[in-house]
Structure 1
Amino acid sequence: MNMNKRFIQLKNSWLIILLLCVCTQWLQAQQRIFVETESFAEKGGWVIDQQSFPVMGSSYLMAHGMGRPVKDAVTTVNFPEKGTYHVWVRTKDWAPFPKGPGKFQVVINDAPVKTVFGESGNDKWKWYDGGEITVPAGAAKIALRDLTGFNGRCDALLFTTGKFTPPDDAAALSALRRNLLHLTATPKAAGPFDLVVVGGGIAGTCAAISAARMGLKVALIQDRPVLGGNNSSEIRVHLRGDIDKNYYPKLGRIVREMDNGDPGNGNPDANEYGDARKIDIVKAEKNLTLFLNTYVFKVEKENDRIVAVTGRDIANSQETRFTGTYFSDCTGDGTVGYLAGAAFRMGRESKAETGESLAAEKPDSFTLGTSNLWASLPTDSVTSFPATPWALQFSDEYHIDASKADWEWETGFGNFNTITEAEQLRDHNLRAIYGNWSYLKNSKPEKYGKQQLAWVAYIGGKRESRRIIGDHVLTQMDIQEGKMYPDGTVTATWTIDLHFPDPVNKKYFEGQEFFAGTKHIRVAPYTIPYRCLYSKNISNLFMAGRNISTTHVAFGSTRVMRTCGMMGEVVGLAAYVANKYHSSPRSVYTDHLTEFMDLIKN
C-alpha cells in the first residue's frame, strides 16, 4: 500500500516536472516586447505628459503641434528572432465627436502598420490591435508618426508572438509593465536626507533652498524637467502676492531670487519665465540634490512617521527610494500627505461648519479650475487653421475675441476632479482653445488672417485640489480680522479671490464652462500661522503651497505663488529647528517657538 502511494507520488512529480518543462518551452516561444513610448530615444515633436500618473501609473507621449503635424518620435527595438509579431498599441481617442483629431501611425522599419490610431470614437485608454508585422532578428526602427498636430497620444506598444491580448485592468497592466520592463523589485536608494521636498514649484523650491542654506541635507523631487510649477515656461503664470509688506522683512528673499520679473500670463516667449535660472540657483546649493522628472507615487510609514517615498522616472520608469527624517509636501495636490494617510479636505465647507460668510450653503466638491493658457503671434503672410468639428463650437453670437489667453481661461468648477480627471480637464481646455481659434481664423480673416498660434500649454495650471489639515485651519475671519497669532509667519496680501464660471460663458456652455469670473475681496496684510504648515496626524510632514491647512475661502487668498514661496522659506527654517532638537514639526511650535520666530525675524 505504502509502496503504491510512493509510486503514485513519484509519477505525479515527474508529470509536474514534464508539464513545467513544456510550459517553459512554450513561454520561451512566446515573445513579448513592451515599449513605453515616453522612453523613446528621440521624442521628435512629441512631449511627455505625466499629469494622469495617479490614474494610469504611467506617462505617455503626445503630439502637441497646435494643428501642425509634429516630427516623428523614434527609437529602436531589439527583436530576439525573425518572425511574425502582433502589434498592440495603447491609446485613446481624446475628442470623439464622433471621431477625434488625434490620428497617428506606428511605423516599423519605415513601413506604417495598416491601422490608423487615435480616431476610434472611444475616449477610454485601451489596447488596440495593430495587426501583424514580419521583422528580421535584431534592431528595428520604430516611429510614432503624427498625422494632424492635434494631440494624438500613445502610452505603450507591445509586440507579441502567439495568442495574447494585453490587459486593460489597471492592476494587471501594472504587473505586466513591471514584468516586461524588468523593473527591479528594489528601487535605487537615495539618502538619507534631513529633508525630502516633493514638488518643485515655487513653494517647494524655496523650501529646499531655505533648508539647504541652514545646513540640512536636502532632496528636491520634481515630476517635470523644469522648476517653478505654474511659473515655469510650461504653464506661464506670473507671480502674485507682495513680499515687501512683511511683518518679517527677511522672509521673501529666496522668492525674490526665483522671481524673473513680471512677464504676464501666457507670454509667448518661454525665456521670460527663467527656467534655466531657477535650476542654476538650485544646483548652486551644495547641500541640495535635485531630482527632476521623478513622480512620487509611494509612501512608506512607521506608525505616524514617513520613512521613505518612492518616485518613478517619467521617461524610463526606473524607480528611486528616498529616505529622510522630515518630508515636505509641496506637490499642490497633497500627494505625499494623501498617500501617507494625512487628514485632508477637498472642496467647499459649509457656512454652518466654518462660520464664514463667504462659504457655501452646503459642503460640496466644487474647486477652482485649471488653466491651459495660449498665445498667438503675427506672421508675415496669411496662415490657415482647419475646421474643428470635434472642438467646442463658437459663433458670431458668442466667441472670445482675443489674440492670447489670460487667467480667465479656466475649466473645472466642480465639473471635473482636478486630480483624477486632470487629462479630461486639460482636453476640455484644448477643445475650447482650438474651437475658438478656428472660429477666429475662419470667420475674422481681416483681424486674424496674419496671426498664428505660437504656444498652447499642454500641462494644466492647477489652482485647487487637496488641502492637508494642520493644527490650525486658516479661515476667512483670520484673514479679514487680521488676527496675529504667536506663530504668525508669512505675511499674505492677496485678495480673497474665488473664481466662478463667467455668467455669459455659462449661458452658452452650461456644464462645459471654460471661462471664469471673480470678485476680489480685499484684505489687509495678515499672517499665516506656522501651524498651517504641518500635518496634524503625520508627525514629520510639512507642507507649503496651495495644499496648506486652510478652508476653501481662505485658500482663495493664500494660493498665489509669492505667498506660497514664503511658506517654503518658513518650512526650511522649521525643518532646521526640528532637526536641531531631533523633534517634530509640531514641537517647533510647542517647545521652540521663541527660537523659531527669532529665525523668522533675523
Structure 2
Amino acid sequence: MSFKTISAFVLLVAMIVPARADQVLVEAESFDTHGGWKLDTQFIDTMGSPYLLAHGLGKPVRDASTTVTFPSTGEYRVYVRTKDWVARWNAPGQPGRFQLIVDGKPLDETFGTKGAEWFWHDGGTVNIKDVQTTVSLKDLTGFDGRCDAILFTQGDEAPPNTSAILPGWRREMLGLKETPTEEDGYHLVVIGGGYSGLGAAISAARMGCKVALVQNRPVLGGNGSSEIRVWAMGNIRRGKYPRIGEIIEEISDHATKSPGTYEEFEDAKKEAIVRAEENIDLFLNHHAFKVEMNQSSIQAVHAFDTRTSEVKRFTGRFFVDCTGHGTIGHLAGADLEMTPKGRMGMSNMWAWNEADVPVTFPETPWALDLNMADFPYPREHHGQWFWEGGFDKDPIDGAEAIRDWNLRAVYGAFNAMKNGDGADEHPSAFLTWIAYIGGPRESRRLMGDVVLTKEDVISKRDFKDGCVPTTWSIDLHYPKEQYAEKFPENPFISKAVHDRRIDRNYGYPVPYRCFYSRNIDNLFMAGRNVSVTHEALGTTRVMKTCGMMGEVVGRATSLCILHDCLPRSIYERYWDEMHELLLLPGKARRQTVDAEIEIPEDAMTKATDQGLAMGIDPASLPGIVIDDSQAKKSPKWRPSISLEGFVGTNYLFSHGYDDATIEFKADTPSQGRFEIRIAYRPHANCGDQVPVTIGIGDKVSTVRVNMQEPPSDGIFHSIGRFDLAEGVPVTVTLATEGAGRDVHADAVQILPIGE
C-alpha cells in the first residue's frame, strides 16, 4: 500500500490527493516499505493513530521509506509526531532516537528525544528540490523509537496535537472522503480476531450466516498468535456438549511452551481456515473506533484501515465484541464493570539464546536498574507468563505506559545478564524475541442476564443454558512479593494463586446468558470480556475456553436470524433448538440459516461427555492400566493436554523444583511374567534422570528414565520385567527430586508377556 500525502495535481488509488497547497501530511504507517519497523496499532484509542515502532532488541532496524509528492519545491518546516518513551519516568538517556532522512540527507534534529507524551516535534526546515522526494526513517538504537506522522508545511503554525481518531484536519489533509465505504448485508459483525472472534466467525458462517470478521492486527489469534505467543490453554470437547471445541481444535496452536516459536503459533493456518469459509469476509488491519446506535441497538460499527486510513462502515443484524477490552460494548453504552483493585496485568514475554562467540549488548541506563536477584532467572532461555506488569494501572488509557514499563523491565533484566552481575555467566547470550504487543488479561467485562460468580463455579450451580466447559483453575495473578520490593508502585513479576476446585474432566458449564448484553439488544460478547465476576474470570479467561464461547455465539446468531429474534429469546423461547445445534460437529454446515444441515465426512469423531476422545481410552489398552486420575498425588501436579497422545483425559506434570511424587497402585491379576511400563509425554523441558521406584511386595528398586526421549511404542516405556505371584501389590512412584527438570506422569501399565 502506498503512502498518504497530498498533491495539487494528481489523484491516484495510491492516495496522492489534493489538499492545501503548502502542506503535505505523511502517515508513517502507510510508508511504501516499513523496513524493519513494526506497525503498532494497540494504542489507537488513546493516542489516536497507528504508528511505526523500531523494535530491534538493541540493534537498529532497517529504514522505513516512501516517496512523497510535494506540490512545489522550496523550503518546508518539518514536524514529526513522536515522543521520548521513557521521559514519563524521567529516566536517563533517550532509547528511541531516530532520524528523518529527506532526499538522502538527515535533518539536523534527532527525534524521539523530547516529550513524555505524543507531540509534534519541530524538526527545523528542509529545502525540497524535487517534487518527487524520498523520505526515510532511520533508527539509531533498536530500542523502540516510534513515529506516528510527518508534516511538511510552508505555514507558520504547528499542527494540532489531538489524540482523537482521524480528526477533521487529518481527514482533510489525507483527502479522505466524507462518507465511509459501506460494508453491509451481514448477519454478524465480529470485532476482534483472537480465539473468541475466530470461534464466533467460523461457527456462524458454517451455520449459514454472512459474517464480517474485523481484526486490527495483520494476523489472527490474539494472545495466541506469533506476536504474543501465549499457548492455548483450557480443555475442550467435554461436558454437556462435547462437540463444542471442535472448531477451536481446528485453529488451535500446538506450542510446547509459552512463549514458543513463531512457527508453532501457525498464523497462516488460522488465516487459511477463515478464508476457506465462503460466508466470511475477513478485514485484517482494520481498527473499530466508532459505534452508531438506534436506541438500544447497534446500527453500525466504523473501522479504519490502519495502513491507509480509509474508513468503512459495517452494518449487520448482530455484533459480537471479541476485543478483550469490551471496546464495542463500551462505545455502545453497555452495562459493564471493571474491578477497581486487584486486577491482573499485561504480559510481555521474551526469549534469548546463546551464540558460539561472545556477543555484546548496549548499556541501558534508561531501563529498570536490575541485578540478577531482582527477577527470576529466565530458565529454558525465555521469560515466561509471569513477566507481567500494570497491576491496578488503567488497562485502557494506561496501556502504552504498561507495555513500555514491561519493556524497561525486560531490557533491564537482560542488561543485568550482559553488563551487570550476571555478565560472567552470559558472554554469548543474545535476545531473540520480546513481545511488543502486550498480552492483557483483564479490563472491562460486559454484563449479561447472568453474571457468573466464583461461588457458582465451585458449587457447580446448574444453569439450564450451561454450555461452555471451563476447566482451568480459578487462576488470579498478583505481584510476587520478593520481586515487588524494589518497584512496589509497578511490579513486573507476578505469581498465580490457584483455586483448584474445578472439575477439569467434565468442566463447569458456563451459561449462554453470560454471552449477550443485558441492555444492548443485538450485542453478543465472547472472550475475557464476558459477564463474569473478577474471580470467575480467573477460570473463564483462557483461550480455548474463550474460543468455545465464540462457537456458541455463532450458533445462537443463526437461530436469531432464523427466528428474527434477539439473543435473549434464544434462552427464553428457542433453547431446545439451540441444544440441538450445540450437539452438532464443528464442521457441520449449511448454506443459509434455513437450509438443511450437512455433516461432512471429515467431521471429528464425537468426544464422550468426559472428553476421553481427546486422549487414548485406558479401557482400549491391554493389561492393567492405571490412569493418573486414579493415582495418589502429592500437591503441585498440574494437568495438561498440550502434548498429544496421552492416556485418558489429560496427563500431569510437575516442575523439577516442586518436590512432588505420584503413586500408581495395582494388584497382580495372576501368576506369571509381566512387563511394567509407564506412559509420559516426551519434551525437551523434561528431566533425563527421572527417578521411578517400583515396589513389588516388600521389594523396592529404582530406575532412571530420560523423559526427553519418546517411549518405545510412542505411549509406554518399559521399566522392567518381573515374575509376579497372583495378588502381589505393585506400586510405581514417580518423583521430581533428582529429575533435573520437569516430570510427566500419565499412566502405568502392567502387561502380561509370554515365555
2:231 matched to 1:254? no
**One-letter amino acid matched to 2:404:** D
Give the distance between the partners of 2:165 and 2:184, measured in 1 at CA.
31
Contact 2:45 2:165 in 1 (8 A): no
Higher helix share: 1
**One-letter amino acid matched to 1:158:** L
Match of 1:34 in 2: 25
Match of 1:75 in 2: 66
- Taking a change above 3 Å as real, the CA distance of residues 140 and 320 of structure 1, as seen in their structure-2 partners, is same
Match of 1:65 in 2: 56
How far is 1:98 from its partner? 3.3
Give the distance between the partners of 1:397 and 1:382, measured in 2 at CA.
23
2:321 matched to 1:329? yes
2:213 matched to 1:220? yes
Match of 2:106 in 1: 112
2:330 matched to 1:338? yes
How far is 1:396 from its partner? 4.9
Match of 2:729 in 1: none
**Aligned with 1:86 (options 77, 84, 98):** 77
**SS in structure 2 opposite 1:510?**
coil
The aligned runs of 1:111-130 (5 Å cut-off) are 111-120=105-114, 122-130=115-123
**One-letter amino acid matched to 1:491:** P
Contact 1:93 1:99 in 2 (8 A): no
2:469 matched to 1:487? no
Give the distance between the partners of 1:569 and 1:303, measured in 2 at CA.
28
Contact 1:30 1:162 in 2 (8 A): no
2:495 matched to 1:517? yes
Match of 1:309 in 2: 301
**Aligned with 2:398 (options 405, 408, 421):** 421
Match of 1:498 in 2: 476
2:376 matched to 1:400? yes
Deviations for 1:414-457, whole angstroms, at most 9, x for unmatched residues? Answer: 0x211111111100010000010011012323432112100111
Give the distance between the partners of 2:225 and 2:481, measured in 1 at CA.
30
Q: RMSD in angstroms over aligned alpha carbons?
A: 1.5
Deviations for 1:159-213, whole angstroms, at most 9, x for unmatched residues? Answer: 0003121121335982221110111111111121011110000000011000000
How far is 1:399 from its partner? 3.7
Give the distance between the partners of 2:255 and 2:77, measured in 1 at CA.
53
**Aligned with 2:351 (options 375, 388, 392):** 375
Contact 2:21 2:71 in 1 (8 A): no
Higher strand share: 2
**One-letter amino acid matched to 2:306:** I
How far is 1:137 from its partner? 3.9
Give the distance between the partners of 1:28 and 1:191, measured in 2 at CA.
30
Give the distance between the partners of 2:553 and 2:304, measured in 1 at CA.
25
Give the distance between the partners of 1:601 and 1:585, measured in 2 at CA.
19
2:266 matched to 1:274? yes
What runs of 5+ residues in structure 1 fail to find an aligned partner? Answer: 1-26, 348-363
The aligned runs of 1:137-286 (5 Å cut-off) are 137-171=130-164, 174-267=167-260, 269-286=261-278
Q: Name the larger-Rg structure.
A: 2
Match of 1:295 in 2: 287
Contact 1:418 1:465 in 2 (8 A): yes
- Taking a change above 3 Å as real, the CA distance of residues 112 and 519 of structure 1, as seen in their structure-2 partners, is same
Give the distance between the partners of 2:399 and 2:375, measured in 1 at CA.
25
**One-letter amino acid matched to 1:574:** A
Match of 2:577 in 1: 595
**SS in structure 2 opposite 1:158?**
strand
Match of 1:464 in 2: 442
**SS in structure 1 opposite 2:552?**
helix
Match of 2:728 in 1: none
**One-letter amino acid matched to 1:420:** D
Number of equivalences: 557
**Aligned with 1:551 (options 533, 537, 544):** 533
Match of 1:577 in 2: 559
How far is 1:319 from its partner? 0.9
How far is 1:577 from its partner? 0.7
Contact 2:98 2:110 in 1 (8 A): yes
How far is 1:119 from its partner? 1.7
Deviations for 1:220-266, whole angstroms, at most 9, x for unmatched residues? Answer: 11000000000000000001110143221111000100112133211
**SS in structure 2 opposite 1:465?**
coil
**SS in structure 1 opposite 2:382?**
coil
**SS in structure 2 opposite 1:508?**
coil
Give the distance between the partners of 2:110 and 2:246, measured in 1 at CA.
53
Contact 1:80 1:137 in 2 (8 A): no
**SS in structure 1 opposite 2:32?**
coil
TM (normalized to structure 1)? 0.91
Deviations for 1:363-393, whole angstroms, at most 9, x for unmatched residues? Answer: x344210011110122121101111110001
Match of 2:746 in 1: none
How far is 1:73 from its partner? 0.3
Match of 2:95 in 1: 101
Give the distance between the partners of 1:379 and 1:528, measured in 2 at CA.
48
Paired-residue identity, %: 47
Give the distance between the partners of 1:90 and 1:262, measured in 2 at CA.
39
What runs of 5+ residues in structure 2 fail to find an aligned partner? Answer: 1-17, 585-755
Give the distance between the partners of 1:397 and 1:534, measured in 2 at CA.
47
**Aligned with 1:320 (options 312, 315, 321):** 312
How far is 1:401 from its partner? 2.1
Deviations for 1:87-119, whole angstroms, at most 9, x for unmatched residues? Answer: 001100001313321100000001000000112
**SS in structure 2 opposite 1:170?**
coil
Give the distance between the partners of 1:162 and 1:581, measured in 2 at CA.
60
- Taking a change above 3 Å as real, the CA distance of residues 46 and 589 of structure 1, as seen in their structure-2 partners, is same
Give the distance between the partners of 2:166 and 2:262, measured in 1 at CA.
37
How far is 1:30 from its partner? 5.7
Contact 2:49 2:166 in 1 (8 A): no
Match of 1:352 in 2: none
**Aligned with 2:366 (options 366, 375, 390):** 390
**Aligned with 1:433 (options 401, 404, 410):** 410
